[in-house]
Amino acid sequence: MHKHAHLFIDGAWQPASGQGLAEVLNPATEQVIGQVPLGDERDVERAVMAARRAFPAWAGTPTKVRAGYIQALAEQLEVRGDEMAALITAELGMPVQWCRAIQVDGPIDGLRHYGELAALMDEVREVGNSLLLREPVGVCAFINPWNYPLHQLLGKLAPALAAGCTVVVKPSQETPLHAFLLAELIQSIGLPAGVFNLVSGPGAKVGEALARHPQVDMLSFTGSTGAGVRVAQAAAPSVKRVCLELGGKSPLLIGEDADLAAAVRHGVRDVMLNSGQTCTALTRMLLPASRYAEALELAVAEASSLRLGDPLDARSFLGPMCSAGQLRTVREYIHIGRQEGARLLCGGSDAPAEFERGYYQRPTLFADVDNRMRIAQEEIFGPVLCLIPYADEAQAVQIANDSPFGLSSGVWAGTAQRALNLARQLRAGQCFVNGAAFNYRAPFGGYKQSGNGREWGEEGLAEFVEVKAIQC
């Protein structure tokens, strides 16, 4: 049992002003595995003011020193990586065969990169009779999601520290335990008091208070589009900078000349990873009508081969959904898809008989999906894939872009150049060509209702920077 009775504020573990503790459940067993404080507006006030007091000194700290802290944190995470991965498996349900590499090692790589990028803050550029300088934006508030908790936290924290900002973090109530371990590591490296502050609690209290607080200069939020709109509205009166990483309904456009077996296999596995709880999941597979029947057979075979099971079993590809609420949402969408006339190929809304406990959902495929259906337009956030036929390339691009979202996309074609030509036509912040891997040195973020701003890479650093022009 991971019991946390205190919040991390101003460099120390302090009792919460809010009353009570929130229980954290293991989604595979439905058993309580931890407790965290229910912070409130008073805790937010203490944390924000601690960050405000710490800001001048931290902003004035040499970039080499800030880079040293970032590297020290990366080293501590490396040492305790197995512990962090086990904690995320327990609170999220991602199987152990994926958790260390995806939830921990990848983010560590991105964190280390910001140790290098911190030096960019020292650059001065001459433009005519002006000197252009970079300065940190100030006190930053982070409202984090539950699906890739450490990944998203470090994607905000690393550039903020590199830029010279101070931060207040609110983790998701579903998966907060990793953030408390991270706070312990931050304390162990001696990061100055007030630079990092952690306040757990409900979004209606803690998240709302952070968004509205006049001493918060920048707010970074990751979550659903609806919640992002509410956060932006709350932040608007104080005119703070807002960075939003929101929902997605990303297409995978498979060309007529593609290696169909490889493309379909990749597309099915991409959606089923983390039980479909991935904002960038390629949940709309666009297939040439001439090869549609063959593709459906390949997709069903691949989905049926993926093991759904205990996340502690190294053979499991999928574990449970993160929560009972998310499981209900996914099954409601499966019901909607059948009502809309989509053809259920495998999976469905029935509970798997082999699991007495846990929020398990079988991989589900829908064929004959019209892109106007709700299951093709709305983010389901579960292991549900829509397979959509197209007549020609022009229609494929039109279908791919016919979405309120634009977070990610994928293209699979017979040649890299042909795939690249298609990728340039897709309205999304990222495009993965022929199964390419995620890159922590490249910017991540979306078009349209998938949000604004970027995380990771130099563009991620820019979110935490003010540019000053000095005329000489």
Same domain, 338 and 227: no
7 and 103 share one domain: yes
pLDDT for the residue numbered 265: 98
Say if 445 falls within a structural domain: no
- Note whether 288 and 253 are within 8 A (CB): no
**E strand intervals along 29-128:** 32-37, 125-127
With a cut of 90, say whether residue 420 has pLDDT above it. yes
Looking at residue 241, which CATH number applies to its domain?
3.40.605.10
- Domain co-membership, 202 together with 312: no
User: Which structural domain range is residue 220 located in?
Assistant: 2-246+450-471
Is position 444 within any domain? no
Q: Is there a single domain that holds both residue 221 and residue 291?
A: no
Q: Do 191 and 281 share a domain, yes or no? A: no
By CB atoms closer than 10 A (0-12, 13-18, 19+), residue 162 is: buried
Structural domain includes residue 346: yes
Q: What is the pLDDT of residue 159?
A: 98
Q: For residue 217, give Cα distances in angstroms to 139, 223, 228, 241, 248.
A: 5, 20, 17, 6, 27
What's the pLDDT tens digit per position in 369-399? Answer: 999 999 999 999 999 999 999 999 999 999 9
Domain identity same for 141 and 205: yes
Is 109 a domain residue? yes
| 3-class DSSP state of 339 | helix
pLDDT tens across 296-330, in order?
999 999 999 999 999 999 999 999 999 999 999 99
Instruction: Note whether 195 and 168 are within 8 A (CB).
Output: no
Phi, psi of 185 (to 5 degrees): -65, -40
Predicted confidence at residue 281, as pLDDT, reads 98
**Rounded to whole angstroms, what are the CA distances from 191 to 170, 186, 333?**
19, 6, 45
Q: What is the model's pLDDT at position 70?
A: 98
Sheet holding 166-170, edge to edge: 12-15, 6-9, 196-198, 166-170, 139-143, 218-222, 241-245, 451-452
User: Quick check: is 343 in a domain?
Assistant: yes
Kind and range of the H or E run holding 92? helix 81-92
Going by C-alpha positions, the residue among 444, 464, 467, 466 that lies closest to residue 161 is 464
Confidence of residue 1 (pLDDT cuts 50, 70, 90): confident
Alpha carbon distance 233, 229 (integer Å)? 6
Structure tokens at 191: 């990061």
The DSSP secondary-structure symbol of 215 reads T
* Beta strands in 105-163, from DSSP E residues, in sequence order: 125-127, 130-136, 139-143
CB 175 within 8 A of CB 91: yes
The 10s digit of each residue's pLDDT in 446-462 is 999 999 999 999 999 99
294: exposed, middle or buried (C-beta count within 10 Å: 0-12, 13-18, 19+)? middle
Q: Are residues 267 and 336 in the same domain?
A: yes
Count Cα atoms within 13 angstroms, Cβ side, for 142: 31
Whether 77 maps to a domain, the answer reads yes
Written as one string, the DSSP assignment of 400-426 is HH-SSEES--EEE-SSHHHHHHHHTTS
CB-based contacts of 236, cutoff 8 Å, min separation 6: none
| Torsion 329-331-335-337 (CA) sign | positive
> Which residues are marked as active site?
245, 279
Supply the pLDDT for residue 277.
98
> Could you give the 3-state DSSP secondary structure of residue 193?
coil
For residues 241 and 258, membership in a common domain is answered with: no
Judge if 428 and 459 occupy the same domain: no
User: Is residue 232 in some structural domain?
Assistant: yes
Length of the chain: 472
The answer on 62 and 143 residing in a single domain is yes
The enclosing domain of 304 has a CATH number of 3.40.309.10
Same domain, 223 and 320: no
How many CB atoms within 10 Å of residue 471?
8
Return the DSSP state at 192.
Answer: P
Residue 228 maps to a domain: yes
pLDDT in tens, 21-30: 999 999 999 9
> Is residue 83 domain-shared with residue 66, that is, in the same domain?
yes
Cβ neighbours for 303, distance < 8 A, ≥ 6 positions apart: 268, 272, 345, 346, 347, 363, 365, 385
Query: How many domains does the chain fold into?
Result: 2
pLDDT tens figures, 3-51:
999 999 999 999 999 999 999 999 999 999 999 999 999 999 999 999 9
